[in-house]
A and B are shown apart, each in its own frame.
Chain A
Amino acid sequence: MNNNDFDSLPEALQDLYIKMQDDLYDGLKDDVVEATVEALDQWGQEPADILQLGLVAGMDIVGEDFRDGILFVPEVLLAAKAMKGAMEILRPLLTEVKDVDRQGTVVIGTVKGDIHDIGKNLVGMMLEGAGFEVVNLGINVDADQFLAALREHNADILGMSALLTTTMPYMRTVIQRLRDEGLRERTIVLVGGAPLTSAFAEDIGADRYCEDAAVAVEAAKALMEIKRRKA
């Protein structure tokens, strides 16, 4: 759904979405959850549309204001918690849809030595919203854990996140292990996190650097398409 579609929604529903964004911004988890239920039950909205028009649109504003120095980490964390609350309702519904157009399986985690998980979780939720099955390994994940999970879930995509200049080099180690153990060919490797660049991603042998969650979803879809055609 794009902005035109948003404009063509009934005004009361538009208001509901804007209220959802505002409440997310203010970190009001209960209100965001309530609005999510209302959009589902009373308006019959698709889970993916609620995610996009309500939650992600709200998080975009939070992200912008964080970048501009209007919001700081405490507010961002509260907003992320509110989003997580709503996702608990949407997740099972998103999975229901998935069997029809299943996109693929993603194993995602923050690399060893690094405990930043806000951005990575956001990416995970957006991928779920786009129809991927997401296995979130959490923080401080080492190569063994990444490889074990890729095998266990027969995953298509590995997503790694690093927010520290001291932990980003570890991504190279993980990719090398994929090569050593013959998993690199069949695994799409996406990397992200604020200090990364596409030059870095290329240098370590990743398939794509994702500057934000939207890019991550696009890249995951596009590379899966290529992978499917090859198969």
Chain B
Amino acid sequence: MADRLFELLERKGLVLGDGAMGTMLQLAGLTDGGAPELWNVARPDVVRAIYQGYADAGSDIITTNSFGGTRYRLKLHHLQERVFELNQAAAALAREVAGADRLVAGSMGPTGELMEPLGPLTLDDARTAFAEQAAGLAAGGVDFFLVETMSSLDEVQAALEGARAASDLPVVVTMTFDTNYRTMMGVTPAQAVQTLHDWGVTVVGANCGNGPAEIERIMTEMAQARPEGVVLMAQSNAGLPRWRDGDISYDGTPEVMADYTRRMRALGVQVIGACCGSTPDHLAAMRTALDGPPLAHYEPAFDVSALQGKPVSDSTARRAARRAQRAET
């Protein structure tokens, strides 16, 4: 298995990811709720220009416009029969821009369906859907798969198995810990890093979420639980979305993202990028921060005492008693 990501990590030590695709497409006029992936063939000029913007800003990795490229997400736009084509196009465009120097990450996002037993999606069907997407991405020339913004470990497992069935390229996994510092399904950063390590994933991390301060605490928890040999990755949103003057924008400036980059370095995170709301300007500032000196002194920007203890509600004790009673009878 030609692991170009590892070669790059060995060579450079620190690697700069790229920034948002979805919000960039919105800026470029995708505002009708249409499928971003369709633009890989309908507006390849726009998608290529966004990739190029990140390449010029100094990104080492270009991530494909294929986040919603599984058949389940494309179905919302009646595009479920074009999975291979749209993913291949996303990857081929990125490959063109990335050339031989930069890597291409094949983005694979959640299906948006709930998995059994919570919902209707079976592990088999999910695996098949991810394999189908991964085949298109591989055909378009990606260097590795980036399974991102995940909240359920079951779905990660399906994506991992699907990707591995389609190709022997490496798989990187980042999850989103946006619900009280866990994924919305309740997965903790420590649980994620452990489980993914057990499943043979070497690059693990967090992306999206509620901005740099949140991800700093999450990466701290991951770093503390990190098994030997695991490389950490973080791609934070550029702050938080705000509704302003009839439009949505993110409040994280390039300076904020540069500061976040230095903080991630201090925590030992080796692959650092950005997510929703970021632009090539943010990535250029992050490049400078990555190439410059490390922080002389790291001071956590979050409340460290919050790492301990879990809140308990008033009615918890009553329910616990009831459960014990139920267990007896």
Contact = CB atoms under 8 A, between A and B. Distances in A.
Contact of A70 (B32, B181, B310, B323): B310
A72 B186 contact: yes
Given A22-B322, A166-B26, A74 B185 contact: yes
B179 A72 contact: yes
Nearest to B311: A68
B33 A170 contact: yes
B100 interface: no
A77 interface: yes
Contacts of A165: 241, 243, 248
B315 A166 contact: no
A113 B315 CA distance: 37
A26 B326 CA distance: 12
B279 to A, nearest CB: 16
B318 interface: yes
B184 interface: yes
A169 B312 contact: no
B246 interface: yes
B246 to A, nearest CB: 6
A203 interface: yes
Given A165-B241, A165-B248, A22 B33 contact: no
Contact of B322 (A19, A68, A69): A19
Interface string B227-265: 000000000000001010010100000000000000000
Given A72-B185, A73-B184, A26 B319 contact: yes
Contact of A69 (B118, B181, B241): B181
Given A73-B186, A166-B26, A64 B322 contact: no
B114 interface: yes
B186 A70 contact: no
A78 B310 CA distance: 22
Contacts of A200: 243
Contacts of B315: 21-22, 25, 61
B111 to A, nearest CB: 10
Contacts of A65: 313
Contact of A26 (B180, B246, B323): B323
A140 B243 CA distance: 22
Contacts of B180: 68-69
Interface string B120-154: 00000000000000000000000000000001000
B210 to A, nearest CB: 12
Given A25-B319, A170-B33, A113 B179 contact: no
A64 B22 contact: no
B31 interface: yes
A72 B180 CA distance: 9
A197 interface: yes
Nearest to A170: B33
B184 A169 contact: no
B48 interface: no
A115 interface: yes
A32 B73 CA distance: 34
Contacts of A115: 76, 112
A98 interface: no
B164 interface: no
Contact of A113 (B33, B183, B312): B33
B182 A72 contact: yes
Contact of A166 (B22, B243, B319): B22
A18 B315 CA distance: 10
A231 interface: no
B177 to A, nearest CB: 11
Interface in A14-43: 18-19, 21-22, 25-26
A211 to B, nearest CB: 15
A22 B76 contact: no
Contacts of B31: 169
Contact of B185 (A18, A73, A78): A73
A195 interface: yes
8 contacts: A18-B318, A22-B319, A69-B180, A72-B182, A73-B184, A77-B119, A166-B22, A199-B243
Interface of B: 22, 26, 31-33, 76, 112, 114, 118-119, 151, 179-186, 241, 243, 246, 248, 310-313, 315-316, 318-319, 322-323
Given A26-B319, A170-B33, 6 more contacts: A19-B322, A26-B323, A69-B181, A72-B182, A73-B118, A199-B243
Interface of A: 18-19, 21-22, 25-26, 61, 64-65, 68-70, 72-75, 77-78, 112-113, 115, 140, 165-167, 169-170, 173, 195, 197, 199-200, 203
Which 3 pairs show the lowest CB-CB distances between chains A and B?
Answer: A69-B180, A72-B186, A113-B33
